[in-house]
């Protein structure tokens, strides 16, 4: 038997990094801008604790595209590196200088917003570049250094000329990546990944129109000047405290997030917690349209203000994926599969925190301005109903503010409804019978008949309502939902009020046979004794359970919510 050691040489690693490290080549820019940001935040921290005696000033990060020279430059004014530091941080793959920094300055730097983590980001440069240069000058007095590497494990490192503090990364763009030499493509990447990063990012200049001087003539053109084109908002609303923000700020931030969205959000929920995990963010309830599948993937996930993804599946409960907004948490592990995420303890806590915040916000809206809450009910009910079905914790809270509108537009909570109908709408088994209609026009005569009897009729028309009724019937004692045109409505009919039909028995029989022939459906029942003789001479009913089963089958399959996950009925 032979034993030995498998030899992993660096030669083998480069092609692997290039191919597999990140599935998306475009994230190279995010990684390099993150490093530039970290370098700047480190300097900010070091100057603030007196460890660096330089002026911090107003540093920016600049991105330049040199189409002719086939190069991209990423320039920062951060801490820079000495030659020794380049050896340590760059040549050592998978050694994270960011982690080291956070370790060293532990408590004082924990809120510094430093992004780096795995010590791999820099090498993503080789996904798009055939050669990478680093020209860097440390904030200390050490001379500047130049490192170059062509994607093989061989590098050069020498002293260089650079007067200004900071680092310039030069990417010599590879032939298969020339798309990144297009300004529009870089702009697109910057606005996707870097729109809310904490250090101003300059990409070119833009012309700004200045106000005309007092003595200008009518025909004089307004003066203009070239200014830095800063592509990001370094202080997005979610990084501020709720007390610093007004309603208008939240709306403004919504427009910033969704420039193409003209509808205003219904309300927002500010998330802000730093123990036992770190999470900030703002969620919005949008006005939902009927095309619910189009509503998904609208919450954006950030880590320290760097965009990560707009697929938050596994991180927020499914019923909340219809909301919009931002969540930012460094505590969500992203280098793992989604199914693993759902099992992760920290992620579970985050998910239930978000659920609770949403429930609390809804409860306070209901409590503080019921009228407004009722007005919004139609636009928010699907989220709430779906949440009640799928998350028990949410159900417990929502049960107090979920509304049940009547066909006439009165809104009851469940408790109020019970109070209102008890006594009057009880069946032979002493169950409370909750009457509802799902279509006001089609069920018009049934609704009228029931109302004439003094019954309350709810209007429940959202697609998941059959599931919700099932849930309520099993969670609450002695209630049953019955559609106004269902058969066991008989149980409720106050016989003494029923007018006797003017038809003879024979006429009734003939009519009944005719109707049966026409509708030709064995599961329907025809009752010649009308609920209300003024409205309808006979009624056709279908057993409640049969119809509901059919409805649930319709919404049960891979509907827009992927109701495959629905609790067993």
Consult the annotation and say whether 97 binds a ligand: yes
Phi, psi of 482 (to 5 degrees): -140, 125
Report the site for Mg ion in 254-293 (rule: CB under 5 A).
Answer: none
- Taking each helix axis as running N to C, give the angle between helix 544-556 and helix 465-475, from 0 to 180 degrees, rounded to the nearest 10: 120
Structure tokens belonging to residue 177: 């990546």
Consult the annotation and say whether 76 binds a ligand: yes
For the bound state, the minimum distance from the C-beta of residue 66 to ligand ADP, rounded and expressed in Å, comes to 19
Report the site for ligand ADP in 143-162 (rule: CB under 6 A).
Answer: none
Structure tokens belonging to residue 415: 């408790």
| Residue 119 engages ligand ADP in binding (rule: CB under 6 A) | yes
For the bound state, the minimum distance from the C-beta of residue 55 to ligand ADP, rounded and expressed in Å, comes to 18
Consult the annotation and say whether 165 binds a ligand: no
| Residue 133 engages ligand ADP in binding (rule: CB under 6 A) | no
Report the site for ligand ADP in 287-346 (rule: CB under 6 A).
Answer: none
Task: Tell which residue, 73, 76, 82, has the closest CA to residue 133.
Answer: 73
For the bound state, the minimum distance from the C-beta of residue 47 to Mg ion, rounded and expressed in Å, comes to 21
| Residue 124 engages Mg ion in binding (rule: CB under 5 A) | no
Decide whether 39 or 407 has the Cβ nearer to ligand ADP: 39
Among 78, 80, 116, 325, binds Mg ion (CB under 5 A): 116
Q: How many residues touch ligand ADP (CB under 6 A)? A: 23
For the bound state, the minimum distance from the C-beta of residue 227 to ligand ADP, rounded and expressed in Å, comes to 25
Among 43, 46, 72, 79, binds ligand ADP (CB under 6 A): 79
Beta bridge pairs of residue 25: none
Beta bridge pairs of residue 285: 267
Among 29, 46, 90, 407, binds ligand ADP (CB under 6 A): 90
Tell me if residue 406 falls in helix, strand or coil: strand
| N- to C-terminal Cα separation, the chain | 59
Structure tokens belonging to residue 339: 């199914």
Task: Tell which residue, 412, 385, 417, 379, has the closest CA to residue 398.
Answer: 385
Alpha carbon 175 to chain centroid distance? 37
How far apart CA 88 and CA 533 sit, in angstroms, is 92
* Segment near ligand ADP (CB under 6 A); pick from 35-43, 204-212, 272-280, 479-487: 35-43
Consult the annotation and say whether 338 binds a ligand: yes
Q: How many residues touch Mg ion (CB under 5 A)? A: 3
Residue pair 307/196 in contact by the 8 Å Cβ criterion = yes
The H or E element that residue 63 is part of is strand 61-66
Report the site for Mg ion in 425-454 (rule: CB under 5 A).
Answer: none
* Segment near Mg ion (CB under 5 A); pick from 71-79, 99-107, 120-128, 287-295: 120-128
For the bound state, the minimum distance from the C-beta of residue 33 to ligand ADP, rounded and expressed in Å, comes to 9
| Residue 78 engages Mg ion in binding (rule: CB under 5 A) | no
Residue by residue, DSSP assigns 426-488 as B-TTS-EEEEEES-TTTTHHHHHHHHHTT--EEE--STTHHHHHHHHHHHSSSEEEEETTBGG
| Residue 121 engages Mg ion in binding (rule: CB under 5 A) | yes
For the bound state, the minimum distance from the C-beta of residue 327 to ligand ADP, rounded and expressed in Å, comes to 22
* Segment near Mg ion (CB under 5 A); pick from 119-127, 251-259, 295-303, 352-360: 119-127
Binding partner of residue 167 among Mg ion, ligand ADP, none, CB cut-off 5 to 8 Å per kind: ligand ADP
| Half-sphere CA count of 344, side-chain side, radius 13 A | 20
Consult the annotation and say whether 483 binds a ligand: no
Where in 129-288 does DSSP place strands (E)? 129-137, 144-149, 155-160, 166-173, 201-209, 224-230, 267-273, 279-285
For the bound state, the minimum distance from the C-beta of residue 73 to ligand ADP, rounded and expressed in Å, comes to 12
Mask for 28-57, x = binds Mg ion (CB under 5 A): -------x----------------------
* Segment near ligand ADP (CB under 6 A); pick from 75-83, 146-154, 429-437, 441-449: 75-83
Task: Tell which residue, 491, 485, 493, 492, has the closest CA to residue 443.
Answer: 485
Cβ neighbors of 537 (< 8 A, separation 6 or more) are 501, 503, 528, 530
* Segment near ligand ADP (CB under 6 A); pick from 92-100, 234-242, 297-305, 367-375: 92-100
Consult the annotation and say whether 255 binds a ligand: no
Strands 144-149 and 155-160: antiparallel
Q: What angle do CA 520, 523, 529 make, to 5 degrees?
A: 85
| Residue 404 engages ligand ADP in binding (rule: CB under 6 A) | no
* Segment near ligand ADP (CB under 6 A); pick from 112-120, 189-197, 244-252, 441-449: 112-120
Strands 166-173 and 71-75: antiparallel
Residues that bind ligand ADP (CB under 6 A): 31, 35-36, 38-39, 76, 78-81, 89-90, 96-98, 116-122, 167
| Annotated binding residues for ATP | 31, 35, 76, 81, 96-97, 167, 338
| Annotated binding residues | 31, 35, 76, 81, 96-97, 167, 338
Residues that bind Mg ion (CB under 5 A): 35, 116, 121
């Amino acid at each position: 038997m032979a034993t030995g050691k498998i030899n992993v040489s660096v030669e083998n690693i480069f092609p692997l990094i290039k191919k597999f490290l990140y599935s998306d080549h475009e994230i190279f820019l995010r990684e390099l801008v993150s490093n530039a940001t970290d370098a700047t935040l480190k300097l900010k921290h070091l100057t603030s604790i007196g460890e660096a005696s330089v002026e911090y000033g107003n540093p920016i990060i600049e991105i330049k595209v040199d189409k002719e020279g086939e190069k991209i430059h990423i320039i920062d004014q951060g801490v820079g590196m000495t030659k020794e530091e380049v050896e340590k941080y760059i040549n050592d793959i998978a050694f994270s200088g960011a982690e080291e920094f956070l370790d060293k300055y532990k408590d004082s730097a924990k809120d510094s917003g430093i992004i780096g983590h795995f010590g791999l980001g820099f090498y993503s440069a080789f996904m798009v570049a055939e050669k990478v240069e680093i020209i860097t000058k440390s904030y200390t007095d050490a001379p500047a250094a130049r490192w170059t590497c062509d994607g093989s494990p061989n590098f050069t490192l020498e002293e260089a000329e650079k007067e200004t503090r900071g680092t310039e990364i030069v990417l010599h763009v590879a032939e298969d990546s020339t798309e990144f030499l297009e300004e529009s493509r870089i702009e697109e990447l910057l606005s996707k990944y870097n729109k809310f990063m904490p250090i101003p990012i300059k990409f070119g200049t833009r012309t700004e129109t200045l106000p005309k001087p007092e003595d200008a003539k009518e025909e004089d053109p307004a003066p203009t000047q070239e200014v830095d084109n800063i592509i990001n908002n370094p202080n997005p609303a979610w990084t501020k405290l709720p007390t610093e923000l007004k309603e208008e700020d939240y709306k403004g931030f919504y427009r910033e997030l969704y420039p193409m969205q003209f509808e205003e959000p219904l309300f927002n929920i500010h998330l802000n917690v730093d123990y036992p995990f770190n999470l900030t963010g703002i969620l919005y309830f949008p006005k939902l349209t009927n095309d619910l599948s189009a509503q998904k993937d609208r919450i954006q996930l950030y880590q320290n203000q760097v965009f990560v993804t707009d697929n938050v599946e596994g991180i927020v409960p499914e019923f909340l994926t219809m909301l919009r907004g931002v969540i930012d948490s460094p505590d969500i592990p992203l280098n793992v599969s989604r199914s693993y995420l759902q099992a992760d303890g920290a992620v579970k806590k985050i998910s239930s925190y978000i659920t609770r915040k949403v429930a609390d916000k809804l409860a306070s809206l209901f409590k503080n301005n019921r009228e407004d809450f009722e007005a919004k009910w139609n636009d928010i009910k699907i989220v709430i109903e779906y949440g009640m079905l799928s998350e028990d914790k949410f159900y417990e809270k929502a049960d107090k503010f979920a509304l049940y509108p009547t066909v006439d537009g009165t809104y009851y909570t469940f408790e109020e409804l019970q109070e209102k109908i008890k006594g009057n709408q009880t069946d032979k088994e002493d169950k409370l019978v909750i009457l509802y209609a799902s279509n006001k026009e089609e069920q018009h005569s049934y609704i009228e008949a029931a109302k004439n009897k003094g019954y309350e009729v709810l209007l429940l028309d959202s697609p998941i309502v059959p599931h919700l009724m099932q849930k309520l019937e099993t969670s609450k004692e002695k209630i049953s939902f019955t559609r106004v045109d269902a058969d066991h409505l008989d149980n409720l009919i106050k016989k003494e009020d029923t007018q006797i039909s003017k038809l003879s028995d024979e006429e009734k029989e003939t009519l009944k046979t005719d109707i049966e022939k026409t509708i030709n459906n064995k599961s329907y029942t025809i009752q010649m004794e009308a609920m209300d003789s003024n409205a309808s001479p006979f009624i056709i009913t279908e057993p409640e359970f049969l119809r509901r089963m059919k409805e649930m089958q319709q919404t049960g399959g891979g509907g827009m919510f992927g109701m495959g996950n629905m609790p067993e009925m």
